[in-house]
Amino acid sequence: KAFREAKEKVNLYKLDDYAKKMGRGIAFKRLGLLAEWLGWSPGMRRLWRKHISKGVSFLDPQGPKSGPQISRWNLRLNFNLEGFLDPDR
């Protein structure tokens, strides 16, 4: 719910800058997927796709090693999404 409420306040250019400073493709993978879920700028998502690393990464690095793969972001969805994006929670 917090992500949805903050959607209008998030500065995507700052997020982009932070991810570039990190220098890790996983940051762009996770940001891109989050941007899809929240309906953020398609233009920014296209930019982030150019920076993702090739291998498949886990959305939750501490989570289980199984789950569906989202190939466009090279991410394995390895946690329970139930309630995560539920606006009533």
Tens-digit pLDDT profile for residues 7-23 = 778 899 999 999 999 99
Which residues, in sequence order, are bridge partners of residue 70?
75
- Closest of 62, 2, 1, 3 to residue 33, by C-alpha: 3
Residues in contact with 66: Cβ distance below 8 Å, sequence separation at least 6, in sequence order = 76, 78
Q: What is the pLDDT of residue 10?
A: 85
The C-alpha atoms of residue 75 and residue 51 are separated, in whole angstroms, by: 14
% the chain with pLDDT above 90: 66
The C-alpha atoms of residue 57 and residue 76 are separated, in whole angstroms, by: 6
